Amino acid sequence: MARTAHPKLKHGFEHVKELLQPSGLVMERLRAAIFDHILAREPLPIWRITMKWTASVAAFALLFSFAPKLFLAPTIEASPQNVLIPTEGIVSVTKGAEWTQMVSRLELSEPLTVRTGELSAATIILGDTAVLRLDENTEVNLRPTALLPSHARNEPIARVSYGRLWATSLLPETLSTATTLVLPQGNVQLKNGSISLFVDPVRSTLQVYHRFADLMASTGQATHLIEGDQVTLLPEGAIQRNLVTKNMRSEEWVRTNLSRDAAHRTEVEEHMQELARAAAGILPT
């Protein structure tokens, strides 16, 4: 036990586990990479084809025995990639009773409420599917759905009570589910995009800075928003629609988050390619 507790060995085991247990978001891409690898071959003599398919079946059987989660729906449990990171100042959490001030990053295994103080900030990373960045004086209630695999998130992942929040979703547009947030005035859905929210119980403002978002007001009115749109949600369900100005886009809050989004998307894409190569590499060449 002492040997496996060594930091380097533990990191190595975690890397192997990550390769054998990819998240729900990458399963479809892994399947595509594997079958493309099989099909994209020149015609071969029948005896060689038979041998290759026999080897492939044996490899798949071995893969199923060691990593069933690659092809089957992941169990409903928190991934080590679901984390809450206090990045600045005072960040507190509660699971329904007392508030606890955070001193380090927290792996998320159950829903909770996060609150940032003055001159404080925090980041919630939900695997490789979504990122929520809380500015100062912000409160977010993370729901159980947030910890489910991406394909099982049929309900909102969080409720934003008040404050300023940046939300980024990395879900494929072909996926039936979306990253959904609850506001006092309605719900907002993202597939693959980024938005900035300023939330208040009386009126809230939503700005789209990447791709698109869908707004469902509490009155039932649906509004499709594209990059550059801004909407203000007023009392009694009224909506004011405007455009994001050049000055808004040049604000430090926006520039910083867009830069972080770009870096995060690159990391996620590299991770997916690594998993795809690892899975496709088991097939005969």
Q: Determine the pLDDT at residue 275.
A: 73
Helices (H) and strands (E) in the chain, counts: 5, 17
**C-alpha to C-alpha distance for 266 and 168, rounded to whole angstroms:** 14
- The C-alpha atoms of residue 216 and residue 165 are separated, in whole angstroms, by 18
Q: What are phi and psi of 205, to 5 degrees?
A: -125, 135
For the chain, 285 residues long, the average pLDDT of each consecutive 10-residue run is: 48 52 56 51 52 54 45 36 95 95 95 98 94 98 95 95 97 92 97 97 97 94 96 90 97 97 84 76 56
pLDDT of 279:
73
Closest listed residue to residue 53, CA positions, set 66, 38, 63: 38
Distance between CA atoms of residues 52 and 235, nearest Å: 65
